[in-house]
Structure 1
Amino acid sequence: MNEQDIVSFLQSNPDFFAQNPDLLAQINVPHNLGGQAISLTERQVATLRDKLNQVQSKLAELVGFGEENDNISAKVHRLTLSLLIAESFESVSHSVYSHLTEDFAVPHVQLRIWNSILKRPLPEFIEVSEEVRFAAADMQRPACGPAVPGEILLWFGEPGDYLKSWALIPLRRDAQVFGMLALGSEDPQRFFPEMGTLYVERIGDMVSAAVRRYIG
């Protein structure tokens, strides 16, 4: 009988030690720490304790993710309510800037609108190049990462020289892109290519709907 035969036998007879309880006290195995011998039962308890610690750690991580998602959902809800009660384009833009900078702690936010019937003497309606408009039209979802076209960098003025990561969110009327919401941060890890964009997309949808009410 070799080692594998013993393993196969024990796997086929899981109640073997239950039928031979005295044998457990006679079997010693090295402990992971220090090399001293402990009984098989003690080793099983230690193994189960390690597995329990791993499960508890994973559970704590999942709870943390859940709490973070709940927190983000609450912020999105507050932004939604603010956009719903906005009675002008100016109040819509104010809600966007205030909630994203204060509630979401995004340090730099810029909004640009084009293809609008109505024009206003506001920074949001400053002329945007065809390059940016075409790039936005090609975006299927928000783009996050360290790279941003130079023109968009200029939207942020002097702080743009210090920004390290970006989220660019196209604003749509059906299939047509009519603007962009640009978020910037000095933290290079704030927005990165692999990050999830579900909430960012929802914010883009809500801002698009609110802006469309007032730009024609």
Structure 2
Amino acid sequence: MSGNTLTIDESLREEIISRPDMILDDRDLMQALIAANERSMGGNIVDLRGIAMERLEARLDRLEDTHRSVIAAAYENLAGTNQIHRAVLRMLDPVEFEPFLRDLAGEVAQILRVDAVRLVLESGQNDRDTAVRRLGDVLSMAEPGFIEDYVSEGRAAPLRPVTLRQLSEGDSRIYGEKASWMRSEACLRLDFGPGRLPGLLALGSEDPHMFTPQQGTDLLAFFAGVFERAMRRWLS
């Protein structure tokens, strides 16, 4: 150093000259150099190139954030797809009706990471058979029209195949003793074919963010479609 003039180490100077990309690729170094250049030009000069670079950097930051969000969403969607596929395969394993239904509240619920799975079937008969009594923790019967009223909550809006919503607590007619713990649910409406009353598959969770109206429903609609076709075997 001589007076106010700063000298740079010769080896460092040669390294920079031979590898300028190591500075160009370092955002902090480039910003420091640009700031030093602006100070040397004085306050009366507007550096349009510097302004353009700042705007490009801001745009790059936004693009990187979007890129990370897209990747995260893709991984989440892939994980959800694998989860539904595993649940479908497990649901198709049983060859008898009772194990088929009991698996819903067992391994299928565990795979889907929900706290309750309930199947509601509408019926015009008041008497429950022995199977319904044995499967009361999974299966319940309801009067015709119950499912539409339950899903719509009394509103006249068109019903979707899958409805996701948050709850203050669950309905005891659906979830029984677990109702007070339910904070969100997915309602999967089931169509068992011409001449048959509809059904409902309710997935309940203690997590209020497990099912929200903003989430996509394609995977759950696929799961409901497979369940409908499996149920038709037992109802035929």
> How does the TM-score come out when normalised to structure 2?
0.64
**How many angstroms apart in 2 are the aligned matches of 1:143 and 1:106?**
16
Quick one: structure 1 residues 184 and 85, their matched pair in 2 at CA, closer, same or farther if it must change by over 3 Å?
Answer: closer
**1:197 maps onto 2:217 in alignment:** yes
Alignment of 1:171-210 (within 5 A): 171-174=190-193, 176-210=196-230
Deviation at 1:144, TM superposition (A): 2.2
Deviating more after overlay: 135-144 vs 59-68: 135-144
Quick one: structure 1 residues 125 and 103, their matched pair in 2 at CA, closer, same or farther if it must change by over 3 Å?
Answer: closer
**1:129 maps onto 2:143 in alignment:** yes
Q: May I ask how many residue pairs the two structures share in their alignment?
A: 185
Residue 106 of structure 1 is matched in structure 2 by 114
**1:80 maps onto 2:88 in alignment:** yes
**1:164 maps onto 2:183 in alignment:** yes
**How many angstroms apart in 2 are the aligned matches of 1:36 and 1:65?**
47
Quick one: structure 1 residues 72 and 29, their matched pair in 2 at CA, closer, same or farther if it must change by over 3 Å?
Answer: same
Contact 2:167 2:185 in 1 (8 A): yes
Letter of the 1:135 partner, please give it: D
Q: Could you report, residue by residue, the CA deviation over 1:161-201 in whole angstroms, capped at 9, with x for unpaired residues? A: 23222221112113554321112223333323343221121
Q: Which structure has the greater CA radius of gyration?
A: 2
Letter of the 1:166 partner, please give it: E
Contact 2:120 2:201 in 1 (8 A): yes
Deviation at 1:209, TM superposition (A): 1.2
Unmatched tracts of structure 1, length 5 or more: 1-24
> In angstroms, what is the RMSD of aligned CA positions?
3.6
The structure showing larger relative contact order (alpha-carbon pairs under 8 Å, at least 6 residues apart) is: 1
Q: Please give the secondary structure, in 2, of the residue aligned with 1:127.
A: strand
**How many angstroms apart in 2 are the aligned matches of 1:55 and 1:207?**
41
Deviation at 1:62, TM superposition (A): 0.6
Quick one: structure 1 residues 97 and 45, their matched pair in 2 at CA, closer, same or farther if it must change by over 3 Å?
Answer: same
**How many angstroms apart in 1 are the aligned matches of 2:105 and 2:61?**
44
Unmatched tracts of structure 2, length 5 or more: 1-33, 152-157
Residue 213 of structure 1 is matched in structure 2 by 233
**How many angstroms apart in 2 are the aligned matches of 1:101 and 1:188?**
17
